[in-house]
Amino acid sequence: SRPVTVPDFRAAKGQGRKLVVVTAYDYTSAYWCDAAGVDAILVGDSLGMVVQGHSTALPVTLGQMIYHTRCVMRGVRQALVIADLPFLSYQISPAQAVRSAGKLLKSSGAQAVKLEGGVRTAPMIRACVQAGIPVMGHVGLTPQSVHQLGGFRVQRDRDALLADAQAIVEAGVFAVVLESIPAALAAEITAAIPVPTIGIGAGSQCDGQVLVFHDLLGLYPDFQPKFVKRYADLGNTIKAAIETFCHDVRSGAFPTPQHSFR
């Protein structure tokens, strides 16, 4: 089938079809997500944590997002690719947002960007959309404001969250990530807005779900939020395989003639 477009993604809301999004940061992970049939791949600034090993996503630069998005694009045939604008690449002004989003899309070939924030980010989103750049929004727990929020915690201010979602819909987002909000509130927002909601820690009533690649596969060693379901235990699978490799090299069991040139 043909590649997923932004209008296809948006239209899924009216079709009762759940959207599936997974993050990826390089060619190989993107290849397997795409092969598994996800609707979209998000090149998340969560790479600051799961790839770079920082305790937040704040240190990630626009240049790094461009590098990882270029790697991801080479592995994708079908899925829509959305790339995060990192901290301080869009918050300063609408002009800065258009410049950063444009640079990211031009140099990578991704189809859309994601910006965090509601009412306060609406002017930046509007400017990008007016420049022809599709924007996914992100409200609730917005990890780029982790210090302002006082940690990675559930967001419960119903009126503020509804106002945030409405503001970015009016600014022109084609979809919205809802992160770490009570399931009933996510359901209310999902019913109230015309674009798909993609939940992470936001219950089952969203129009789709997103998980971080390393969380879904059991690869990230540091912690596991309550909202993560591990679909594999690849960290331990990798460890066991490499332990066997260590053993085989040390014992002389590898390589054999089968792996050698004569």
For the annotated catalytic residues, the residue numbers are 179
The helix-helix angle for 158-171 and 183-192 (nearest 10°) equals 30
Question: What gap in Å lies between CA 39 and CA 19, rounded to an integer?
Answer: 6
Interactions with ligand KIV, residue window 211-230 (CB under 6 A): 212
- Name the percent of the chain in helix, strand, coil, to the closest 5: 45, 15, 40
- Identify the CA nearest to 185 among candidates 194, 197, 175: 197
What CA–CA distance (Å, rounded) separates 99 from 20? 29
Is 116 within any annotated ligand binding site? yes
196 touches ligand KIV (CB under 6 A): no
Q: Which does residue 23 bind out of ligand KIV, Na ion, none, counting CB within 5 to 8 angstroms by kind?
A: ligand KIV
Residues 30-59 binding Na ion (CB under 5 A) are 44-45
- Separation CA 41–CA 73 (nearest Å): 10
Beta carbon nearer to ligand KIV, 229 or 259? 229
Q: Going residue by residue from 35 to 74, which x/- string records binding to ligand KIV, judged by CB under 6 A?
A: -------x-xxx----------------------------
The entry of ligand KIV, Na ion, none that residue 200 binds, CB within 5 to 8 Å by partner kind: ligand KIV
* Coil, strand or helix at 151: coil
Strands of the chain (E only): list them. 19-23, 40-43, 80-84, 112-114, 135-140, 175-179, 197-200, 208-211
Chain residues that interact with ligand KIV, rule: CB under 6 A: 23, 42, 44-46, 84, 177, 200, 210, 212
Chain residues that interact with Na ion, rule: CB under 5 A: 44-45, 84
Binding residues for 3-methyl-2-oxobutanoate: 45-46, 84, 114
Binding residues: 45-46, 84, 114, 116
